[in-house]
A and B are shown apart, each in its own frame.
Chain A
Amino acid sequence: DGGITQSPKYLFRKEGQNVTLSCEQNLNHDAMYWYRQDPGQGLRLIYYSQIVNDFQKGDIAEGYSVSREKKESFPLTVTSAQKNPTAFYLCATDRDYSNQPQHFGDGTRLSIL
């Protein structure tokens, strides 16, 4: 089945540690996105990528980094500079047309130890 796989489902970070969230897709979509979800805040854009080897900052990129070395993969690293990393992280993809919906993975819940 085509879809988006996020792993792990739950992740714990220690003080001063970097952690990486995985997002893999087999939908052959060009664009990929990372959103952060906090209770009562909706979803906020962290980073997005329209093509391989290119990505742009979203609204809340500070303390995060990404790479896009393959079309299928868009990992997100939460660095130690992100002082409030506890949230639900969602990866999304879409085709290269603005009237098409985004498809979402099942998310990764990150907590601080």
Chain B
Amino acid sequence: AQSVTQLGSHVSVSEGALVLLRCNYSSSVPPYLFWYVQYPNQGLQLLLKYTSAATLVKGINGFEAEFKKSETSFHLTKPSAHMSDAAEYFCAVRRGNQAGTALIFGKGTTLSVSS
């Protein structure tokens, strides 16, 4: 069965510092992985997705993630944090590789950025 674990419910960084949000997954099939961002009282916005085309995936707003099969990880990074990056971030995996299957979400990581 598929599952997702996000390490660290809260991460704090200074503006300009490296952002690293950790995600480990468990999947019995080649996984489809996603990172989403959520601002308060809003829906989720897709940051990036991994669908086996390339292990280093670039997304919006300067974020990227690297798929490491040996470590079953899909960590999200950004070289330099901006105040506007403060939000909640979710890692998700498809439940299977069939069409129309739902996502399984991690519990989320809240990113705080200080000036």
Contact = CB atoms under 8 A, between A and B. Distances in A.
Interface residues of A, dominant DSSP: strand
B98 interface: yes
Interface residues of B, number: 27
B9 A40 contact: yes
Chain B contact residues: helix, strand, loop or mixed: loop
A89 to B, nearest CB: 11
Interface stretch (B13-21, B67-75, B76-84, B103-111): B103-111
B51 A99 contact: yes
A45 interface: yes
B99 A96 contact: yes
Interface residues of A, number: 31
A103 B34 CA distance: 12
13 contacts: A4-B43, A35-B105, A41-B107, A43-B105, A45-B102, A48-B102, A90-B44, A97-B99, A98-B98, A98-B99, A98-B101, A101-B34, A103-B46
